[in-house]
């Protein structure tokens, strides 16, 4: 989860306006918690750079090194194809996938802040192990520990943000998690650029992951628990005081009572998983909890995020130039995320999804075409000068398209459409599928590049076209609709109303 983003558990009635303001206290708490996104992003950004560093390859993946230096093959498409090398990158996401289920239990039982703390702790241990790695086993075990940290953070941070945020600021604060993911990726890219010049700089790249880990570890100690969690653990007095503190007003009765009511109602649903998977009324929510994280990954975004330096080297850029280009894509990713934060509540989710989709589709086609023109099927050749700049520009156009659409919105829309009774179950489906597909893409990309060659970019383009059509046909606009009214949009939507069982007397409004 990245983490995923879950709306506040508050049961605000339409038309109600809770008293209170956006206090400094809540803003600082949310910024500290959102930094959990840093560890996710740092991991995504660091591995590509490290796996293109010669001393690292020589120490741990000598066969890849021999291929890369052209000793064994002149085929550009295949020089980095190694299942062990990709396992280094993608193993983290399997660990994160499994950890997110454990984390969801810890979050409910011990609290959001303890989950953030444990995530930070395990992450720091993993980072130190990686920085000091003497053999492949240390490297992979460290990576698995980092994955546990990422899984914990992706489950707990978005939940924390949503529960702390005043409802009017929920959209913007939710997207801060994604913003920190992109900042983490950029920091990793910058670091790789410099450590690449140092002897065994890869140790610094991997070891410095401990810094964002420490930030959230300390954050986890000092962050206040959410009122929702305190109510759930029957600590009512404390919960009310906390709510007064974060809203900055004494009269929080209305919101407090709604939180209590929402908590009681959700306790009555004994099996949210069963409800989400088998109750036909929840078909749209189930569909998007499965589709959005999966489709988000098959845009091919993590091909660029993980492998930008490797990809640029594959295209024939020099070592430094490839890290520089990765740094540019990282910067563009951060900037375009601000566009989403700015526009999602103004232009609506559908508009951004579709605009981003068209931009990604065109960029993928052009990148595939440019690579085909230089390398054809044989994969022999090099890219340089103006041609190289054009390739980087179109890769940036692709990243920008993703960063203002599927990047933040896949998380945001799920958070908006899940009603409280199935929220944590839907969220776990979302986080685990995100991690699963990140693993699959991470593991499969280099081998696919080796076999499908430039066609791979056309395959991603077709996927993007398909998912944009899916959004166009099925997704109703969720902008500006109170969460409590969200269930009505399905029965009004021309696509979904066919699938919602109204004829047997069960009306969505009555759930």
DSSP conformation class of 269: -
Stretch that binds ligand BGC, among 10-18, 21-29, 177-185, 420-428 (CB under 6 A): 177-185
Scanning 50-58, 175-183, 254-262, 487-495 for contacts with ligand BGC by CB under 6 A, the matching segment is: 175-183
Rounded Cα distance between 363 and 462, Å, is 12
Between the CA of residue 300 and those of 212, 307, 409, 444, what are the distances in Å?
Answer: 26, 11, 16, 11
The verdict on 412 binding ligand BGC (CB under 6 A) reads: no
In the complex, minimum distance from the CB of residue 47 to ligand BGC, in angstroms, rounded to a whole number: 11
* Shortest distance in whole angstroms from residue 354 CB to ligand BGC: 18
Helix orientation angle between 36-50 and 24-34, rounded to the nearest 10 degrees:
30
The answer to the question of residue 434 lying near ligand BGC (CB under 6 A) is: yes
Q: Which of 333, 427, 428, 430 binds ligand BGC (CB under 6 A)?
A: 333
Q: Does position 334 bind ligand BGC by CB under 6 A?
A: no
Number of residues that bind ligand BGC (CB under 6 A): 15
User: Does residue 155 bind ligand BGC (CB under 6 A)?
Assistant: no
Cβ contacts of residue 51 below 8 Å, gap of 6+?
A: 57, 61, 80, 85, 88, 89, 309, 310
Q: Which of 438, 443, 468, 487 binds ligand BGC (CB under 6 A)?
A: 438
Cβ closest to ligand BGC, residue 1 vs residue 471: 1
Distance from C-alpha of 215 to C-alpha of 64, rounded to nearest angstrom: 35
Nearer to ligand BGC among residue 410 and residue 461 (C-beta): 410
**Binding of ligand BGC at residue 397 (CB under 6 A)?**
no
Rg (alpha carbons) of the chain, rounded to whole number: 23
Q: Concatenated DSSP letters for 479-492?
A: TT--GGGTTHHHHH
By C-beta, is 140 or 305 nearer to ligand BGC? 305
Q: Does 196 bind ligand BGC (CB under 6 A)?
A: no
Count the Cβ atoms, other than its own, within 10 Å of residue 74.
11
In the window 286-315, what residues touch ligand BGC (CB under 6 A)? 296, 301-302, 305
Which stretch, 52-60, 102-110, 134-142, 179-187, contacts ligand BGC (CB under 6 A)? 179-187
Q: How far apart are CA 117 and CA 138, in angstroms?
A: 23
Site for ligand BGC (CB under 6 A): which residue of 11, 407, 426, 442?
A: 407
Euclidean distance between CA atoms 328 and 127, whole angstroms = 25
Rounded to an integer, what distance in angstroms lies between the CA atom of residue 200 and that of residue 195?
Answer: 8
* Choice from 122, 161, 181, 310 touching ligand BGC (CB under 6 A): 181
Complex with ligand BGC: residue 78 or 395, whichever CB lies closer: 395
Tokens of 352: 């951004």
Residue 147 is a binding residue for ligand BGC (CB under 6 A): no
Residue 439: count of CB within 10 angstroms of its CB: 24
The token pair at 263 is 């908590």
Nearer to ligand BGC, 183 or 371 (CB): 183
**Furthest-apart CA atoms within the chain: distance in Å:** 73
Structure tokens at 43: 């991991």
In the complex, what is the shortest distance from the CB of residue 305 to ligand BGC, in angstroms, rounded to a whole number? 4
Shortest gap between Cβ of 213 and ligand BGC (angstroms)? 18
CB nearer to ligand BGC: give 110 or 436. Answer: 436
Using CB under 6 A as the binding rule, whether residue 166 contacts ligand BGC is answered as no
DSSP state string for 360-403: HHHHHHHHHHHHHHHHTTTT-----HHHHHHHHHHHHHHHHHHH
Spatial separation of the C-alpha atoms in residues 498 and 315, rounded to whole Å: 49
Asked whether position 332 contacts ligand BGC by CB under 6 A, the answer is: no
Q: Does 2 bind ligand BGC (CB under 6 A)?
A: yes
Told to check if 429 binds ligand BGC by CB under 6 A, we report no
Q: Is residue 90 involved in binding ligand BGC (CB under 6 A)?
A: no
The answer to the question of residue 433 lying near ligand BGC (CB under 6 A) is no
Contact criterion met (CB below 8 Å) for 165 and 12: no
- Distance of closest approach, residue 380 Cβ to ligand BGC, in angstroms: 31
Residues that bind ligand BGC (CB under 6 A): 1-2, 44, 178, 181-182, 185, 296, 301-302, 305, 333, 407, 434, 438
């Amino acid at each position: 989860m990245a983490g995923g983003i879950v709306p506040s558990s508050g049961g605000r009635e339409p038309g109600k306006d809770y008293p209170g303001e956006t206090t400094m206290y809540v803003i600082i708490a949310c910024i500290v918690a959102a930094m959990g996104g840093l560890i996710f992003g740092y991991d995504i950004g660091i591995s590509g750079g490290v796996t293109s560093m010669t001393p690292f390859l020589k120490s741990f993946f000598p066969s890849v090194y021999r291929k890369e230096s052209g000793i064994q093959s002149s085929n550009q498409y295949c020089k980095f194809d190694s299942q062990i090398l990709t396992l280094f990158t993608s193993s983290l996401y399997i660990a994160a996938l499994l950890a997110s289920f454990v984390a969801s239990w810890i979050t409910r039982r011990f609290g959001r802040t303890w989950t953030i703390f444990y995530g930070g702790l395990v992450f720091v241990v993993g980072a130190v192990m990686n920085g000091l790695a003497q053999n492949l086993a240390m490297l992979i075990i460290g990576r698995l520990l980092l994955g546990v940290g990422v899984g914990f953070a992706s489950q707990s941070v978005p939940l924390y943000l949503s529960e702390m945020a005043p409802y009017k600021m929920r959209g913007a604060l939710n997207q801060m998690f994604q913003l920190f993911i992109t900042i983490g990726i950029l920091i990793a890219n910058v670091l790789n650029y410099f450590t690449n010049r140092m002897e065994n700089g890869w140790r610094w790249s991997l070891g410095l992951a401990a810094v964002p880990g420490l930030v959230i570890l300390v954050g986890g100690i000092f962050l206040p628990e959410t009122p929702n969690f305190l109510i759930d653990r029957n600590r009512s007095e404390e919960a009310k005081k906390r709510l007064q503190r974060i809203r900055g007003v004494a009269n929080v009765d209305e919101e407090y009572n709604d939180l209590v009511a929402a908590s009681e109602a959700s306790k009555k649903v004994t099996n949210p998983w069963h409800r989400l998977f088998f109750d036909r009324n929840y078909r749209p929510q189930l569909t998007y909890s499965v589709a959005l994280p999966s489709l988000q990954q098959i845009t091919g975004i993590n091909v660029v995020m993980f492998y930008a330096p490797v990809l640029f080297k594959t295209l024939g850029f020099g070592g430094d130039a490839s890290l520089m280009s990765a740094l540019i894509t990282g910067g563009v990713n951060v900037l375009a995320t601000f566009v989403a934060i700015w526009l999602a509540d103004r232009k609506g989710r559908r508009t951004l999804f579709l605009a981003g989709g068209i931009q990604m589709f065109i960029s993928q086609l052009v990148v595939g075409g440019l690579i085909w023109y230089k390398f054809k099927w044989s994969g022999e050749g090099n890219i340089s000068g103006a041609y190289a700049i054009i390739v980087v520009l179109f890769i940036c156009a692709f990243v920008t398209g993703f960063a203002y659409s599927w990047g933040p919105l896949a998380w945001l829309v799920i958070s908006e459409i899940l009603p409280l009774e199935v929220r944590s179950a839907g969220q776990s489906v979302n986080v685990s599928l995100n991690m699963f597909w990140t693993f699959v893409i991470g593991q499969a990309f280099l081998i696919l590049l080796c076999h499908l060659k430039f066609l791979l970019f056309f395959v991603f383009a077709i996927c993007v076209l398909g998912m944009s059509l899916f959004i166009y046909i099925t997704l109703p606009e969720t902008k500006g609709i109170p969460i409590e009214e969200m269930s009505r949009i399905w029965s009004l939507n021309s696509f979904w109303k066919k699938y919602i069982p109204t004829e047997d007397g069960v009306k969505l409004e009555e759930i």
